[in-house]
């Protein structure tokens, strides 16, 4: 049997954000798993987001009073991470998004955030 060779599709290096770094949009709120200049992944509870579409996203880190807002995005994947208990009836999902049409100011803020508010490569 042949060995599968999975090629990394991302064009930019991913980084681990500091604990407490959150993503928020009109449909979901949750901790960011990884971030790059090209996009990010974050987890959220199912039921807070029924839509798989383009959206505007914000990134915040409350401990440092950091907010980057109104980032245009395109959803790349949205997958089930874990099913909740019968009691809670909630599921955890992970959404990966790609940044689209960032202006120069947003790109600068994002680059500064990555260089100063992450904990190394993912």
pTM above 0.85, yes or no: no
For residue 34, the enclosing domain spans: 15-109
- Domain assignment present for 61: yes
pLDDT of residue 52: 52
- Domain assignment present for 121: no
Number of structural domains the chain divides into: 1
- Domain assignment present for 6: no
- Domain assignment present for 1: no
In this structure, how many other beta carbons lie within 10 angstroms of the beta carbon of residue 83?
Answer: 12
pLDDT of residue 9: 60
pLDDT of residue 122: 77
- Does position 77 have pLDDT exceeding 90, yes or no? yes
The CATH number of the domain holding residue 88 is 2.40.10.220
Range 102-107, long-range pairs (CB < 8 A, 24+ positions): 102/71, 102/72, 106/68, 106/70, 106/71, 107/37
pLDDT tens column, 22-39 = 998 877 889 999 999 999
pLDDT tens column, 30-65 = 999 999 999 999 999 886 544 555 578 899 887 777
Which H/E stretch holds residue 57?
Answer: strand 55-61
């Amino acid at each position: 049997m042949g060995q599968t060779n999975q090629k990394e599709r991302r064009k930019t290096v991913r980084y681990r954000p500091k604990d407490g770094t959150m993503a928020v949009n009109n449909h979901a709120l949750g901790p960011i798993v990884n971030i790059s200049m090209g996009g990010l992944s974050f987890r959220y509870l199912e039921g807070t987001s029924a839509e798989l579409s383009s959206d505007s996203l914000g990134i915040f880190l409350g401990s440092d009073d950091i907010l980057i807002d109104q980032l245009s995005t395109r959803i790349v994947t949205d997958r089930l991470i874990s099913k909740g208990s019968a009691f809670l009836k909630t599921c955890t999902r992970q959404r990966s998004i790609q940044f689209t049409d960032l202006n120069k100011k947003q790109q600068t803020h994002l680059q500064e955030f990555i260089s100063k508010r992450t904990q190394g490569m993912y």
